[in-house]
Structure 1
Amino acid sequence: MANQGAKKRREENTRHMNNLFRIIIVSNAVYILLRAGFFYSTFTWLHWIGLIITSGAYYLCYKQLESMAKPAYTDDGELLDGGFDMSTGGACGYLHDVIYITCFVQLTSIISGKFWWIYAVIPAFAAYKGWGLIKGFLPSGSEGIGEDEKTRKKREKMEKKASRGKFVKAKGR
C-alpha cells in the first residue's frame, strides 16, 4: 500500500504522455499525407519550413513534458516519486497549450496558409507574461506623488479601524 499515490501518478503520466505522442504523430501524418500528398501542386518550400517549425515545437515541448513526468526511483529500484502532476497549470499548462495550438495550426493550414497567423498567439502571450514580470521589477512612478487631504484622512481612518480588535459577543448559557 506504500506509495500508491506515486504509482497512480506514474501510470497517469505514462498514459497522458502516450496520448500526447499519438496526437503529435497523427497531426504530422495527416499534414504530410494531405498537404504534401493530396495538395502536392501547391506544396512549396514554405510548407517544408512550416513542417520543420511545427515539428521543432512539438519536439521541444514534448521533451520538456517528458522530463517533468519522469518518475524518480531509489538505488534499489523502489519508486520514490511518480513525476510531476501533468494536470497542473503553470509551465506545464503552457507547454500543453503550445502543443495544442501547434496541432491546430498545422491541421488548419492544410485548408489555408492564413491559419499560420494564429501561431503568433504564442509569442504574443509570452511577451504579455514577460512584460508583467518585468513591470514588477521596475520602480513605479507613483511613489513621489503625495496624496491629497481627503484620501489621507480616509486612509488613516481605515487604519485606525483595522487596528482595533473585533469583539465577539458570546451567547450565555
Structure 2
Amino acid sequence: MANQGAKKRRDENTRHMNNLYRIIIVSNVIYLLLRAGFFYSTFTWLHWIGLIITSSAYYLCYKQLASMAKPAYTDDGDLLDGGFDMSTGGVSEYLHDIIYITCFVQLTSIISGKFWWIYAVIPGFAVYKGWGLIKAFLPQGSEGVEEDEKTRKKREKMEKKASRGKFVKAKGR
C-alpha cells in the first residue's frame, strides 16, 4: 500500500474543497434570495458592489486553495503527492479565515449594512502581521541610551567571558 498517506490526503482535500464550495454557493444563494428577492425594494447598486466584492474574495481564495490542494501525478498516472495538507496553518489558514469572514459578512449584511465594517478586520490583521516583519528591519533605538556604571561593568564582564571561549576537559586514559 504505497502512497497510502498521499491517497488519504487527496481524498481529504477533495472532501474539504467540496465543503468549501457548498458553503460559498449556499451563502451566495441565501444572499441573493433574501436580499435581492425578499428585500428587493432596498436592494441598491451598493449591494451589487458588495456582491461583486464578496464573490471576488470567494473566487480568489478558493482558487488559491484549490491550486494548493491539487494532487501531483507521475507520467504513468500514479499518485505522487496528495496535495497540500489543508489542516496546517500559514497561508492556508488565512485563506480559510477570509472565506469564513466573507461568508459571515455577506449573510449578516442582509440584516444591516453596518456588518460590512467587519471586513476591516482582514486588512487590519494584515497590517498587524506586516508591522512585525517591517519592525524587524528597522534599526533599534538603543544607541542614544546611556547606561549606568553597574550595567556597563556587567556588560563588559559578559563580553569578556564570551570572548574567552569554552574549554572542554578530555577524559584521560
Question: TM bucket by the smaller chain?
Answer: 0.7 to 0.9
1:82 paired with 2:86, answer: no
Distance in 1 separating the partners of 2:144 and 2:84: 45
Distance in 2 separating the partners of 1:4 and 1:148: 64
Partner letter of residue 29 of structure 1?
A: V
Which sections of structure 2, spanning at least 5 residues, go unmatched?
A: 168-173
CA-based RMSD: 1.9
Paired residue total? 164
Distance in 2 separating the partners of 1:153 and 1:83: 56
**Greater shift in the superposed pair: 110-119 or 140-149:** 140-149
Alignment match, 1:111: 111
**Greater shift in the superposed pair: 135-144 or 6-15:** 135-144
Deviations along 1:11-33, whole A, 9 cap, x unmatched?
Answer: 00000000000000000000000
- Local SS of the residue matching 2:36: helix
1:129 paired with 2:154, answer: no
Which sections of structure 1, spanning at least 5 residues, go unmatched?
A: 166-173
Distance in 1 separating the partners of 2:116 and 2:71: 36
Distance in 2 separating the partners of 1:61 and 1:133: 23
Percent identity between matched residues is 87
Partner letter of residue 16 of structure 2?
A: H
Alignment match, 1:34: 34
Deviations along 1:88-143, whole A, 9 cap, x unmatched?
Answer: 11111000000000000000000000000000100111111111111111111214
TM-score, with normalisation over the residues of structure 1?
0.87
Distance in 2 separating the partners of 1:45 and 1:113: 13
